[in-house]
């Protein structure tokens, strides 16, 4: 497999509507004036998600993986605007929780385009998904443990099932997201065929599934190819079983072999983009022919990562003996990846603050960009060369569209940021900014409601009477 460089074709301000579809959009490719105007209009911190870029990324995947089933990994970005966009280009939805299934249904996905791929699913999630399958029989449940198969059967479910396999091959940008060899995920490879055959007597087994990990870069593609090869061998043993000296088991008519997603994007400016057509060709070659079965993939990060930026504003510039610390209004509650994975995100100074000199004309200086959270790890970068920041400057944090908003939190009682969606030159608020009052909307004081101060049902019911943990359809 080879790689290609990309991203400079769009020019310094390629941005929205440039008509160019490079393999990656760098933070320098966004229109600085447009981003600054959005920051002024909607305040900061602010996520900006370009739906036109989401469509471009989807189109590139469809062109490379011809004749494959493409399922968007919803966990990368669950916003309604993004879900409706990927549905519109023809992707299915791969959902890791009942909440994601609920979001996908609300965005217009039918059951025949829903794939529930949970890990150790809670009882309430299974209850909800089995209920959905009653009215949406095309929904597929991906299962990674015999125990989960039993739990489904106990609920009367006998519908479409896909078996998740642990092939013993993992890859990804960080050890915390390498799933292919982690015991938590999937039935062990040496037991997968037997489990699939047993399950076929209780369910409609339609596929097998494996996923190496998230953020696979060009240097890790051999691991992806090995995973795909093992899945191809397993699929052929199920479709056309041959066991010498024993009773030959009945074949399983698989509809698809799902080899996951995890296709990486280059976060660092000097890193190359994946040569996606070469990855697709190598994936097909490694899988080989599986009679009657279609190749399926589950991209998430690749679809949305470079379609999003996080805008933040400088509030403090503090010289110290160890360097300059630049304080901003976005922290680990707004973008967790740097603190959690030591992840790199490119940062661009858009200017607009007290220093009226354009950033391009300012000296470049190493700075640590730190957020407002009371944690040492709350930094977006350390000793990063940046056009000299001044109080009031807007900074654009690039490649923030995947797992950015999704991992936001209210830690330190900070309201979550707003998100703006761009499409065809227009901007609209896709998610409003939380207010301080939103921080306490789920809290209830039993004395105000005439209830008892117990930890049982009275204290945990919502206004509608449903359990606080339930998903209301």
State the pLDDT at residue 136.
96
- Residues 333 and 189 placed together within one structural domain of the fold: no
Last residue of a domain, one of 285, 302, 319: 302
* In contact, 276 and 21? CB cutoff 8 Å: no
Nearest to 327 by CA among 228, 254, 395: 395
56-80 residue pLDDT tens:
999 999 999 999 999 999 999 999 9
Lowest pLDDT segment from 13-22, 351-360, 448-457:
448-457
Let me know whether 143 and 252 are in one domain.
yes
Q: Which helix (H) or strand (E) holds 236?
A: helix 221-239
Which tokens sit at 118? Answer: 């949970």
Q: What is the pLDDT of residues 430-459, one digit of tens each?
A: 999 999 999 999 997 655 554 444 333 333
pLDDT tens digits, residue range 204-227?
Answer: 999 999 977 544 555 656 777 888
Residue 299's closest CA among 118, 74, 72?
72
The predicted pLDDT at position 156 comes to 97
**pLDDT for the residue numbered 189:** 85
18 located within any domain: yes
CATH number at residue 79: 3.20.20.10
pLDDT band at 183 (very low <50, low <70, confident <90, very high): low
Examine the domain organization and report whether 137 and 273 are in the same domain. yes
Give the confidence band of 12 by pLDDT, cuts at 50, 70, 90. very low
What does the alpha-carbon distance between residue 168 and residue 151 come to, in Å, rounded to a whole number? 25
Closest listed residue to residue 469, CA positions, set 128, 139, 136: 128
Q: Is residue 21 part of a domain?
A: yes
- Residue 57 structural domain: 52-302
Among residues of the chain, what percentage have pLDDT more than 70?
A: 82
Question: Are residues 62 and 206 both part of a single domain?
Answer: yes
Round to whole Å and give the CA distance between 353 and 347: 16
pLDDT of residue 250: 86
**Residue 99 and residue 150 in one domain:** yes
Phi and psi dihedrals of 383, rounded to 5?
50, 45
Judge whether 286 and 41 are in contact, CB under 8 Å. no
- For the segment 111-134, the average pLDDT, to the nearest whole number, is 96
- pLDDT tier at 263 (50, 70, 90 boundaries)? confident
Report pLDDT for 20. Answer: 59
Query: Mean pLDDT across the chain, nearest whole number?
Result: 86
Over 85-114, what HEC string results? HHHHCCCEEEECCHHHHHHHHHCCCCHHHE
Answer yes or no: do 221 and 290 share one domain: yes
Alpha-carbon radius of gyration of the chain: 24
**Residue 374 annotated to the active site:** yes
Q: Which of 58, 95, 162, 374 is catalytic?
A: 374
Residue after which a domain boundary falls, among 241, 273, 302? 302
Helices (H), 399-454: 446-449
Q: Which pLDDT does position 473 carry in this prediction?
A: 42
130 domain residue, yes or no = yes
- For the chain, give the number of residues: 473
- Tokens representing 256 are 């698809």
Q: Are residues 285 and 322 in the same domain?
A: no
Is residue 129 within 8 Å of 100, Cβ to Cβ? Answer: no
- Domain at 413, CATH number: 2.40.37.10
Asked whether residue 257 is domain-assigned, the answer is: yes
Q: Average the pLDDT over 329-341 and give the result.
A: 96
Of 249, 280, 302, the last residue of a domain is 302
Q: Is residue 28 part of a domain?
A: yes
Kind of pairing between the strands at 256-258 and 114-117: unpaired
User: Considering its fold, how many domains does the chain have in total?
Assistant: 2
Half-sphere exposure (Cβ direction) of 268: Cα atoms closer than 13 Å: 10
Q: Which of 152-166, 233-247, 249-263, 289-303 has the lowest mean pLDDT?
A: 233-247
CB atoms within 10 A of CB 123: 10
Which tens digits make up the pLDDT trace of 397-416? 999 999 999 999 999 999 99
Residue 467 domain-assigned (yes or no): no
The pLDDT assigned to 19 comes to 47
For residues 126 and 260, state if they share a domain: yes
Percent of the chain with pLDDT over 90: 71
Instruction: Please check the confidence at residue 461 and state whether its pLDDT lies above 80.
Output: no
- Residue 45, preceding peptide bond in cis (omega within 30° of 0): yes
Cα separation, 117 vs 164, whole angstroms: 8
pTM of the predicted structure, to 2 decimals: 0.86
- Asked if residue 161 and residue 242 are part of one domain, the reply reads yes
- Poorest-pLDDT segment among 130-134, 156-160, 339-343, 405-409: 339-343
The C-alpha atoms of residue 466 and residue 469 are separated, in whole angstroms, by: 8
Give the 3-state secondary structure of residue 338: helix
Is the domain of 346 the same as that of 365?
yes
Q: Is residue 454, in this structure, part of any structural domain at all?
A: no
Q: Which of 24, 12, 15 is nearest to 266 (CA)?
A: 24
d(CA 469, CA 84) in angstroms, rounded, equals 26
Q: Rounded CA gap, 320 and 317, in Å? A: 10
**Same domain membership, residue 96 and residue 47:** no
Contacts of 99 (CB under 8 A, 6+ apart): 471
Q: Copy the structure tokens of residue 301.
A: 């990060």
Distance CA 90, CA 124 (A): 30
The larger pLDDT score, comparing residue 9 to residue 198, is at 198
Contact 296, 207 (CB under 8 A): yes
Query: Are 28 and 173 within one domain?
Result: no
Q: Which residue has the tokens 């097998």?
A: 208
In a domain, 473, yes or no: no
The pLDDT of residue 151: 97
Output the CA angle 88-346-356, nearest 5 degrees: 110
């Amino acid at each position: 497999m080879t790689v290609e460089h990309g991203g400079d074709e769009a020019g310094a301000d390629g941005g929205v509507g440039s008509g160019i579809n490079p393999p990656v959009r760098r933070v320098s490719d966004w229109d600085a004036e447009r981003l600054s105007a959005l920051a002024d209009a909607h305040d900061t911190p602010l996520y900006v998600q370009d739906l036109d870029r989401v469509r471009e990324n989807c189109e590139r995947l469809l062109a490379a993986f011809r004749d494959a089933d493409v399922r968007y990994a919803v966990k990368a970005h669950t916003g309604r605007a993004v879900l409706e966009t990927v549905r519109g280009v023809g992707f299915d939805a791969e959902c890791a929780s009942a909440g994601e299934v609920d979001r996908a249904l609300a965005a217009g996905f039918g059951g025949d385009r829903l794939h529930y791929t949970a890990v150790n699913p809670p009882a309430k999630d299974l209850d909800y998904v089995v209920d959905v399958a009653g009215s949406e029989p095309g929904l597929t449940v991906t299962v990674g443990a015999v125990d989960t198969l039993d739990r489904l059967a106990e609920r009367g479910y006998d519908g479409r099932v896909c078996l998740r396999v642990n092939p013993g091959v993992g890859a990804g940008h960080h050890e915390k997201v390498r799933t292919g060899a982690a015991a938590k995920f999937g039935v062990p490879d040496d037991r997968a065929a037997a489990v699939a055959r047993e399950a076929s007597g209780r369910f409609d087994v339609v596929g097998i599934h494996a996923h190496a990990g998230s953020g696979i870069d060009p240097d890790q593609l051999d691991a992806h190819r090995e995973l795909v090869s093992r899945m191809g061998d397993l699929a052929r043993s199920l479709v056309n079983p041959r066991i010498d000296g024993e009773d030959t088991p009945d074949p399983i008519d698989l509809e698809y072999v799902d080899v996951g997603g995890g296709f990486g994007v280059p976060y660092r400016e000097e890193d190359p983009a994946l040569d996606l057509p070469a990855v697709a060709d190598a994936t097909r070659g490694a899988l080989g022919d599986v009679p009657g079965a279609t190749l399926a993939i589950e991209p998430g990060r690749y679809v949305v990562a470079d379609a999003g930026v996080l805008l933040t504003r400088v509030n403090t510039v503090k010289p110290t003996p160890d360097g300059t610390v630049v304080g901003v209004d976005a922290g680990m509650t707004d973008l967790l990846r740097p603190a959690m994975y030591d992840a790199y995100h490119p940062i661009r100074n858009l200017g607009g603050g007290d220093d009226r000199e354009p950033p391009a004309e300012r000296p470049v200086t190493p700075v640590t960009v730190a957020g407002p959270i009371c944690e040492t790890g709350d930094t977006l970068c350390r000793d990063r060369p940046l056009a000299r920041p001044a109080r009031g400057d807007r900074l654009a944090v690039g490649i923030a569209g995947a797992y950015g908003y999704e991992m936001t939190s209210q830690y330190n009682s900070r309201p979550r940021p707003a998100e703006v969606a761009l499409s065809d030159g227009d901007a609209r608020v896709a998610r409003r900014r939380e207010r301080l009052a939103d921080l306490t909307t789920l809290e209830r004081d039993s004395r105000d409601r005439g209830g008892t101060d117990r930890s049982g049902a009275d204290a945990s019911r919502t206004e509608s009477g449903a359990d606080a943990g339930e998903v209301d359809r």
